[in-house]
Each structure stands twice: as structure tokens, then as C-alpha cells.
Structure 1
Amino acid sequence: MKETRFLKYKGQVKIWYDQEADFLEVIFSEKPGFMRETDDDSIMERIDEAGNIIGFSVMNVSHFSPKHQGLR
């Protein structure tokens, strides 16, 4: 059974996108953490020592758009 977590966050969310590299990073917290693989090779989770998700990154983010997938 896959665990689902909901994040309650009070503060700023930082978003960084590099168009040339087609890379997106979203950070919920500046806590120390490390990257963890997900089921999708393009997506990594940033987690803290307790296992809480504190951000994520997406490589080749444009491939997730409906236009790229032929849906528009």
C-alpha cells in the first residue's frame, strides 16, 4: 500500500525553473534534507531526516505538459 502524505506548510514556497535545462524545483522548507528517487525517473523528492517531503524537482518538465503529450 502506497503511503499518502499531506503537507501543512506556513511560509513561502520557492519555485525555480531553468528553461534551458527544462528543470523545475519547488522548495517548501529550507531545512537540511536529501533527494530521494520516486517511481518516475524524472521526479525526485527532497525529504528531511524525519522523512517529511520538503520539496521536489522535475527534470524534462515540458514533457509533462498536455501540449507535448498531444492532448491539445
Structure 2
Amino acid sequence: MWFDPEADYLEVQFREASGFMRPTAKDALMERVDGEGHVLGFSVLGVSRFRKDHPLEAELVVGE
């Protein structure tokens, strides 16, 4: 997990592998996937705007 407070950016990796970022249905959320579509992690831009009473909820799609 990596957080950059100046950029307000959070990145979480489940495992280290080659991959690319893919957009999701949520503007703030990108998922990192490998060439076969396996989810390797995700990132959130503007993470501080999400509060306990209004959290970011999303599903990561596997193998599309």
C-alpha cells in the first residue's frame, strides 16, 4: 500500500507483476490488471474526499 498525501492518491497492490491501469465505473478508482485480466491492485485519486458517512464502494471485475 502506498499513499501520497500531496497528490491525495492511494495505491494498493495485491501482488507485484506486470500490468496496466484500467478505468472502472467510478471516476476516482482505477484497477491494475495483468494481460489476462487478473486484478493486481487498485488506486484511488482524491481519497480524502471519501468520508465515513459517504464511502467509496466499488467492485473490481476479474477476468473480463
Instruction: State TM-score, norm by structure 1.
Output: 0.69
- Runs of 5+ consecutive residues of structure 1 not aligned to the other structure: 1-14
- Relative contact order (alpha carbons < 8 A, sep ≥ 6): 1 or 2 greater? 2
Aligned to 1:9: none
Shift in Å, 1:25: 0.2
- 1:38 is aligned to 24
What count of residue pairs does the alignment treat as equivalent?
Answer: 54
Q: Percent sequence identity over matched residues?
A: 52
Structure 1: which 4+ aligned runs deviate by more than 6 Å?
none
TM-score with structure 2 setting the length: 0.77
What do you get for the CA RMSD once the two structures are aligned? 1.2
